[in-house]
Each structure stands twice: as C-alpha cells, then as structure tokens.
Structure 1
Amino acid sequence: MKKIIISFLTVVFFNHFSVKAQKQPNIVLLYADDISARELPIYNSTAWSPPKGGTTSNEKYKAKTPVLDRLAAEGLYIKTAWAATVCGPSRAMMMTGRYAHLHKWWHNKDKGKAPNKKGSWNLYDSSPHTIAHIAKAGGYATYWAGKTQMNIDGFPFDEGCFTPGEGSYNKAIHTTDFRLESRKINGKKKIFNADTNKEIHKKSYVQSGWYWKPHVQLLNHPKAKEKLEWWPNDKASKKEFGLHTFGPDVELNFTFDFIERKVKEDKPFFVYHTSHLGHDAWDFLHPLSGNKWPGTPKISWDGKKYTRVTPKVTGDHGEYNTYGTITESGIHNHVNYLDYQVWQYMNKFKELGIANNTIFIFCADNGTSGYGKSSPVSQKGTHVPLIIYAPGMNLTKKGAQDVLANMADLVPTIAELGNVKIPDSYEINGESLIPFITTNKKKHREWIYGYHKETTLIRGDYVMKDGNNIWYDVSEYPADLISFPKIKDWSTVSEAHRKERDELMKVVPKFDLHATEHDAPKKKIKVAPLSQKK
C-alpha cells in the first residue's frame, strides 16, 4: 500500500496526528461484554457487582485496572456513554451506527422479520454500510475476534477468530465437550452438560464453552484449509489444547498474529475485538458451584508490569483440580483480566513500533448481568464505559469528559479516521467523535438514545426518560451513578429542565416505531455506495 504523507493527513484529519505518525492510523476496538460503567474504577462509583450478581460496596470485589486507568488519564473517557439495554441490539447499534427503527433488532428475542419473512433481518441487509464495510472502504485490513451472536456471512472481515464460532450452539463440536445441549427426553426438551452427561436442573440455556477448553473457529486463516475452520486444526495446536486453554487468550493470540502480519505488509488494520470477558457463563470446571462468572488465569500487577500464572487443570467429567492457578468467580476478575489484555495490546504496539500510530478504543455493549443487563430502569442497562487512547493524535481533551456519547458514534468516527464518506442519503444515527476530541468543541451530542423491546430511553444534560416513561433529573451525578432523583412535579425543576424535556420528546417519535414498523420494509433498499473523501 502506498504511504500517505503528512500533508495528506493534515488535510484529511485536520492535523489530528503528530508529525511522528506518517501513516493512516490503525484502529483496535475492544468491545467487552455485559460490563456497566460502574465496574471500572475510573467512574468512581460507590457500588459495583459482587460474584453472585447484584450490588455491593465491598472493596474486595472492586476491579483493579491500572492500565485502563492510565489510558483514560493520558487519553480520555466519556462520563456518560450509552448502548442499548442488551447485547444483540447493542451490537447492532455498534456495527451499523443506527438505531432499531432501521436495523430492527429491538431485543435479543425481538427482531424484525426479513422481507421474505424467513428469519430475522441480517444487519448487513438492513444496513449495508456496516463497521466492516466502512473499514474496508478506508483501506483497512480487517479482523473480528471473539463473540459473534449473529450470521457472519455478509460482513467483509478479512479474517477472524470466534469463541465460539457460528453454528457451535447446536452441534456436537469434535474439539471439546464443554457444552450445554438440548436433548429430547420422553418428548420434552431438557438441557444436558455434555461433559458430565448429566441433566442441568439449574435454569440455564444452550451454550458452548467460550472460556475454558473453548470452542474456537478461524475465519480465512492463511494456514487453514477451509474458510471457516475449527481450531485446534494441526498437530501442534492439538497437542497444546486442553483444559488449561482459556478462550480469551486464544483469540488475542490469533489477533496478534494478524496484526504482526499486517505490520510486516505495511498495511493499516482495523481490529473489532468482541471479547466474552464480562459475560456470565456455565462454569464447566465447577459445574455444581452455581458460579456466575467462571474464574480467569491468575494475574498480578507489581506497579509496572503484569505477571500471569500458567493455568494447570486436570480431571474429567465435571471433577477438576485447578491447583490454585485460576481465580475465584466474579466479574471483577474478568475486568482485571481485560486490563491485563489491554496491557498486552500496548506492549505489542510498542514492540512493533506502531504505538503512536494506533488508536485504541475500549467500551462495552450493555450493563452488567444481575444488575443492569436488559433493564429499562433509569440508565442501568445502557450506561457503559468508553475510553479512547490515541498517543499519536493531537487530542484537545484529556481524562474525564462530562459529555454524552452513543455506541452508534463509533461507525462515523471510524469512517472519519479512514477518510470514508458515507452518502448523505444513508441515515446514520451516530455522530463522529473526532471533532470533539481534536478541537475546542465543548459538547459532543445534545442527547443520547437507547431501546428495549417496545420501549425507548433518552437523555440530555438535564433530564432523562427511561423505558418505563419515568423522568429523572440528571443534572448532577449520584455517587452510585444510578440513583437520580425522579421528577414527579415539573414545577420543582428549572425552566432548562422543562425545555430539554420538550426537545427530547420531539426526538423520540422518529425512532419509536416498534408498533408500526417492526419488520423489514417490503421494498428492497437502494443504497448509494461509500466513497473516499476528496
């Protein structure tokens, strides 16, 4: 690929990058799973989630994130960033830059039908300019690692590593028996643990193991024989794979392999890393424990670097010994491990000499399970972390930013970084963050929006309406980030509050189309192509 000189960057990126950055910036977007903003220490919440779910102020269960803390201080983080209330619709927002009135993913089990009424509408059909299409149009080599939760066929990612991959939920995969599967017994469906061959009496759902002894699929790996191939897939990987194999490590290793190859090829890259970390799961190593979040490999921070304990696990059929190498259950340990992986990312960028030309974004898809996930109450389900770290970028903002942002904003942000023009006729609900983080612009957005089935949530600087149509005064943040005072008498708040309420209520009808436009339109959508800005 021809090198882009600094004068071109000056015109295109409005002098966003320092003279040290001679190339188009690489982008890594780490999208964590089911993690409320309150779980990260930078948000200074007085409450977070204990191992069984719910709320605690016990410091024992507070995550420790020295690396993310540093990135947030040297880069910036958004105080109020919103997604949708649950994973599918949030990922739809992230990948399309649009709200549910267009992509029709109203909730995990409430998706608009495709035009032929056969199944739900694919995101790349409802919204042809997805995050992958835009990155490709910007000249990026693209990689998708981690969770999919959707049909991946129409996304133009060059390569991927999925844990688990598409189709692993209902098939017996030869690589591992860490799987809960549905079996019909006497005409009734029951859930069984394939590892123990015992019925699960605790309420659960069909799932593949994505943490220990995980299901892994590779997309277009250069050494694979098939386009979508199960891993381990050769003698060396089969010898190494086992009970001690941790899915998040596998996906990061393959991601680093991709990054190393692209740097060697002098090709800019976009990594969409949708980690499972943060998501609760069946604990196959402790099947009778009732653990909500399986443990991770043990790590320790000495003030400068992380040390990881090599996991050791022996046993079979639900009876395992972990020899003290794995943490106890708890989302705080998942957040800690994410911090360790971010540290690995930073080291890899430095090792490859691309630290000043790589933008790193950390965010999450919705609130924590057992607290905010799938909740329309206040901003429990929608409030997520958002950190942007860009050491080679001339940022005009540092640290905490008391502004509003949506996960939909990442699509137009990446488009601007890639110098991609989205046609004016194509509706995008996100707004690029680049003008805010690189100029003296004081506000990013006037309002942010979320959705939960047939309900809508919207928030400005002064007031917020949740999915239960309850209004809150959000002019000041409560210590727990959630206990905003309810507005029961509008005469008790300021004129600014009332004015903003009226403005927000003008916005809602544009998107509140669950009852009237639930499914895909009958006519085929005609979309103008993406193009490079001149």
Structure 2
Amino acid sequence: MLPALISKPARGIVWLCALWLAWAQTAAQAQSDEGVNRPNILLVLADDLGFSDLGAYGSEISTPTLDRLAEQGVRFTNYHTAANCAPARAMLLTGVDAHLAGVPNIPEMLAPEQMRFDHYQGVLGNNVVTVASLLENAGFNTYMAGKWHLGTGPGKLPSARGFMRTVALADSGADNWEQKPYLPIYDKANWYADGKPFDLPQDFYSSRFLVDKTIEFIDSNLDDGKPFFAYLPFQAVHIPVQAPQSFIDRYMGVYDGGWDVLRQQRLERASALGIVPEHTAMVTMSTTDDWSSLTAEQQRYEAKRMAVYAAMVEAMDFHLGRLLKYLELQGRLENTLVVFTSDNGAEASGPPRQNAPINQRLLASMDYNTDYETLGLKGSYNTISPSFASAVASPLAYYKFYAGEGGMRVPLIVAGPGVVAGEIDRAFTFVTDITPTLLSYAGVAAPGQRFAGRPIEPMSGRSLMPLLTGAADRVYGPEDAVGYELAGHAALFQGDYKLVRNRPPVGDGVWRLFNLADDPGETEDLSQREPRRFEAMKQSYANYAIENKVLAPPAGYTHTGQLIINTLHGRLREPILVGLLLVLLLIPLWVTYRRRL
C-alpha cells in the first residue's frame, strides 16, 4: 500500500508512472530471447457459485486455498457478472457487452424471433477478440481446460480463439464422473481437445481432471522463457452436483437445520467479515419452502442435497490447491497473477422434490438416479432447490437467470505480485473489467478498431489495476452508468445505486431502485423517495439498450419455457422423454404460481 500521506491523485500519478515503467521494461524484454520475466496469469472460473459459498465470504464450506488467496490479495464484495453462463464468459474474455459480442443469452434459451438477428446467435462473434488472442500475440503461452459454451462451429472453439492448447466442454454442462449429457437437449457430452472431438478417461472427475490438464499444459512449455495465460473454467458447481464420497462425508449433518438457518448464519458471518454492512437486511424469496412443513425424511434428503453441493465446492478448492502447489514448487507462483470468480450466481432450477417419481422416471431414461445413499456419486443426479439456492446467495435476493444481486453479485479474488494483501474492496466492478485488467497487468495494449484484419467492438470494461495496487478507491465515477440485460431481466448500475427489473415467474416486471451500499439485500425500494434519480436511471438504461442492440424477448417468454420449446424442436421423435422433461421443468413454475395465489 502506498503511504497514507500521499494524496489519492498523487498516488494515481505514481501508479501510472510505475505501470508505464513496467510496460516499457516488459516491451524491452520481449524483444530479447533471454531474461523474459513477464508475469504469468491464471484465470479461474467457478460455475454457478453463490455469493457466500467461500469461507472468505462467510461460508461454512471449507475453502482453504481460496481463503488463503483472499488473505494474500484483494477480495471484491461488489463485483457483478451476467446472470447466466455464456453471456458472462463472453464478457469475461473480451471486455465487451454480451449483446455486442453475440452472446446475449445461452443458445439453448434463445427464442427463434431473436435468432433472426446476427448478434443473437449465442456464440462468440468474430467482431470481438479474446484476451487469449491478445496475450498469444504478445508472446504468452495460452491454455484452457474446462467449460467453453461459446460456440462449436468453424472458428468458434477455443483453439480458434487464441488458446494454443485446450481441452474444452462445448455444452452448458455435463456429468462430472463420465462422458454423458446432463440434459436431453444434447445427444452426448461434447468435449474437444485442441479443436478435435475428445474422449474422457475412465477415471474422470471434472475438477481433478481439469487441474491435471492445466498442469500438463503449463509443464509442457515451462522452460521456454515465455509467460503463460491459463484459463481454468471448472464445472463445479453446475448441475449435476456431484462430488467424491470423502468430501460428502464432511458435510453430513451440517445442513440439518435447513435453508433459513443457513441463510441467517451466512449473513452473520459475512457481516462479521466486513463483506456486507452490519445492518444488512434480507428478503424471503417466494420460492423458498417452509422447512418445518417437510417430513423428517424430506428434511434428511434435502440436507444431503446441500451436503453434496458443499462437497463439490470443497473438492474444487482442493484441486485448485494442487495447481497452486505445483506452481510454487516450480518457482512460478510468486510471479503469477491469480484471478478467481464465478460466471453467475447460484443455480435454482433443481425441483423442490428431486426424488419425486416423475423426476426419477425422467432421469432413469438418461441413466441417472436420485437415490439417497449414492447421491452425488457416479450415476447420481443431484441439484439444490430454489430454497437452498437462496441460502448460498445469502444475504442477497434472487439467483441465477435473474437480475437481482443473488444472480449477478459473486466472489472475485485477485492475488499476485504487486497486488495489495488482505484488502476488502467495496467498489462497484463488472465482468467486462477482467480482460482490461489482465491486459494492463501483462503490459499489453488493448486493440484498436481492428484486429487480424477485421473490425472489432471496443472494450467497455475498465482496468482494476488502480484498485489492486491501492492507487484509487473506484474505477467508476458516481455518474458512470453500466447497463445489463438478459431475456428481459435488466439492471443499470450508477454510483451506489441500482435500477433493476425482474420478470415473472419469480419477479413481477416492475422497475425498482436500490442503494446497494446500504442495502445489498435489495429490501427497500427507493423509486418513490427518489423519483428524479429513478427516472434518470431509466432513461440511461434505455440509452444502454439502444447502444447495445438489446432485443426485447417475445411475449410470454420465460427461460425455462424456451428451453422446453427448443428441446421439443430437437427431440420430436422422443415424445416420452420430451413429455417427462416438460413436466419436470414446469413443476417449479407451478409451485411459484400457487404461492402467488
């Protein structure tokens, strides 16, 4: 940290000078084959991780690797991403808004009316350039092992988007124990290695395998004098939620008190850690069941669903620890910037009664079971319900797909050389800021209006280097506006305020205004108390929608309903399977509807 006697503007000048000198030195070194000492970069992405799922953010889950990184670096408590995976990944890797990048939603949930437009295909467009391409051009070895979900056609796999070595899952998810799909929308689990179809090994477990491949890739060029950029997007904790028995055993009995108890416990711990203000209030989601109304057997089953979830988080942390230990033993960790975050908030699409007969029949047709004794193991299909999803997002409202804080606010930890240690940063930050940050850290200039002979969209994100070095308190000023949209769910962030709209069935489609600095739980709507701000922010959102070519969803659209329609379109010859899927996916909608009566 710079001395407190130096003013913020002066610190900013000092930081800029230091950054320029570092870049100049990096550029000079890059011209020589000897003495290259540019930093390595490790970008780690969890899948569907809730805001308070790490010990450093208030969780009861054991995450020593990530907690240690938090102590060694900066914990961001006001970092926001998209509320589902592909848009988040597009913005994370390009610094460009998801709509302009061609990924306004996952392709499995896009309506045909929207897909008539080139920028609504759900695959990464050629009008954007990935951070991997930019770093590869700057002399980095670039690797990826994990979930891609940004396209599979010609030129769309990661091997064509700047990654030199890859093993990638092209789909939205897949089994963690073997190579099979998790939804009937897919014929198979589509894995690729260096651009070619790939068969998983027999002893596959996703978190272990992906770390093994990352180590293999880094080790293959360890002594060539070049820095590396490694992108590690885990499958954890996307459905199906699965984990080794040894990890599951540690959480048996931990969740016997239910989701309301867990939500309150996490709020208290997050408040004590300084992750949220002491006075933070919470809403009770309409999709949260009454724990006391469940039978003892139902409570036992629900508690184990959550135990498997916690085990999968800890297993991810354990295997990430193996990677960091490898880097340490090779003498590379001290010169590696490590960035950890999640693509979106907690997944809540698991049915309230996972082991109901209709669900068992559907899953049996896909060679899965929901048996209590083997829950989370090979052959088992597990999820958490909306009730526990609200708990792992504690103290936030909503979850994945929705624009509430529980769907968009996730952990972000950054540690490495030059990063201040042990800091908690409460400044607003956004997913498009990650690529500019990595480029700044590597001393690589952002591209201009063209790249590789084609026009490209400019980056809208901002480098977080001033926050990481302690040179500034914010990178966004009080008047800077950042917009967001996903299938009609929408938000605009400006200063400490957030304008938000969540559509049915969980939301009501009404615009609301919150002060996130005081009320991260989004409990007090300020739209009537601050009408001028409310109207001005609605106009700013309208401007954002125009500038980013946002298309309104068709009448009656829901993301679950569209998934059903798209599945029906691709599976008309399998009516029994489709019928079961239809019933399964409609159950949560029916439950929500009944609660609103």
Q: How does 1:122-521 map to 2 (within 5 A)?
A: 122-127=123-128, 129-151=129-151, 152-153=156-157, 154-162=160-168, 164-165=169-170, 178-179=180-181, 191=184, 205-206=185-186, 208=188, 216-219=191-194, 228-231=196-199, 241-242=201-202, 244-281=203-240, 293-296=241-244, 298-299=246-247, 330-370=308-348, 371=389, 372-390=398-416, 392-393=417-418, 395-396=419-420, 398-425=422-449, 426-446=457-477, 448-468=482-502, 469-477=511-519, 482-490=521-529, 504-505=537-538, 507-513=540-546, 518=551
Distance between the aligned counterparts of 1:30 and 1:147, measured in 2? 11
- CA positional deviation for 1:248: 2.1
Cα gap change, 1:297 to 1:256, in 2 (>3 Å): farther
SS in 1 for 2:244: coil
Residue aligning to 2:353: none
SS in 2 for 1:77: strand
Q: What CA deviation, in whole Å up to 9, does each residue of 1:325-349 have, x standing for no partner?
A: x998532222211211221122011
Q: What CA deviation, in whole Å up to 9, does each residue of 1:355-404 have, x standing for no partner?
A: 111011100111111134444353121111100010x22x3463211111
Structure with more strand by fraction: 1
Structure with more helix by fraction: 2
- CA positional deviation for 1:14: 9.0
**Equivalent residue in structure 2 for 1:38, among 52, 64, 68:** 52
SS in 2 for 1:427: coil
Cα gap change, 1:516 to 1:268, in 2 (>3 Å): closer
C-alpha contact 2:497 2:516 (8 A) present in aligned 1: yes
Distance between the aligned counterparts of 1:420 and 1:253, measured in 2? 29
Distance between the aligned counterparts of 2:515 and 2:172, measured in 1? 45
The alignment's TM-score, normalised by the length of structure 2, stands at: 0.59
How many residues in Structure 1 have an aligned counterpart in Structure 2?
397
Residue aligning to 1:103: 101
- CA positional deviation for 1:85: 1.1
Cα gap change, 1:176 to 1:245, in 2 (>3 Å): closer
Distance between the aligned counterparts of 1:15 and 1:487, measured in 2? 50
C-alpha contact 2:180 2:188 (8 A) present in aligned 1: yes
Residue aligning to 1:70: 68
C-alpha contact 1:145 1:161 (8 A) present in aligned 2: yes
Distance between the aligned counterparts of 2:488 and 2:52, measured in 1? 26
Residue aligning to 2:8: none
| Farther off after superposition, 418-427 or 35-44 | 418-427
- CA positional deviation for 1:354: 0.7
SS in 2 for 1:343: helix
The alignment's TM-score, normalised by the length of structure 1, stands at: 0.66
Cα gap change, 1:180 to 1:409, in 2 (>3 Å): closer
- CA positional deviation for 1:434: 1.1
Cα gap change, 1:137 to 1:249, in 2 (>3 Å): same
Cα gap change, 1:276 to 1:406, in 2 (>3 Å): same
The amino acid across from 1:432 in the alignment is: S
Distance between the aligned counterparts of 1:36 and 1:411, measured in 2? 22
Distance between the aligned counterparts of 1:268 and 1:300, measured in 2? 37
Cα gap change, 1:179 to 1:516, in 2 (>3 Å): closer
- CA positional deviation for 1:258: 0.9
Distance between the aligned counterparts of 2:192 and 2:448, measured in 1? 37
Q: What CA deviation, in whole Å up to 9, does each residue of 1:212-243 have, x standing for no partner?
A: xxx75321xxxxxxx524235xxxxxxxx43x
- CA positional deviation for 1:353: 0.4
Cα gap change, 1:435 to 1:41, in 2 (>3 Å): same
Cα gap change, 1:177 to 1:420, in 2 (>3 Å): closer
SS in 1 for 2:546: coil
| Farther off after superposition, 407-416 or 444-453 | 444-453
Distance between the aligned counterparts of 2:319 and 2:143, measured in 1? 17
The amino acid across from 1:206 in the alignment is: Y
Structure 1 gap ranges (5+) = 1-6, 46-61, 170-174, 182-190, 192-204, 210-214, 220-226, 233-240, 282-292, 303-325, 492-497, 520-534
Distance between the aligned counterparts of 1:261 and 1:516, measured in 2? 43
Cα gap change, 1:424 to 1:514, in 2 (>3 Å): closer
Distance between the aligned counterparts of 1:245 and 1:350, measured in 2? 25
- CA positional deviation for 1:486: 1.8
Distance between the aligned counterparts of 1:97 and 1:89, measured in 2? 11
Distance between the aligned counterparts of 1:462 and 1:415, measured in 2? 27
Cα gap change, 1:41 to 1:207, in 2 (>3 Å): farther
- CA positional deviation for 1:13: 4.5
The amino acid across from 1:419 in the alignment is: G
Q: What CA deviation, in whole Å up to 9, does each residue of 1:480-511 have, x standing for no partner?
A: x53432225315xxxxxx77656644542342
Q: What CA deviation, in whole Å up to 9, does each residue of 1:170-220 have, x standing for no partner?
A: xxxxx9663467xxxxxxxxx5xxxxxxxxxxxxx53756xxxxx75321x
C-alpha contact 1:142 1:270 (8 A) present in aligned 2: yes
- CA positional deviation for 1:294: 1.8
Structure 2 gap ranges (5+) = 1-16, 27-34, 251-303, 349-388, 390-397, 450-456, 503-510, 553-597
- CA positional deviation for 1:39: 1.6
Q: Taking every aligned residue pair, what percent have the same amino acid on both sides? A: 19
C-alpha contact 2:130 2:162 (8 A) present in aligned 1: no
Residue aligning to 1:188: none
Cα gap change, 1:295 to 1:396, in 2 (>3 Å): closer
- CA positional deviation for 1:29: 0.3
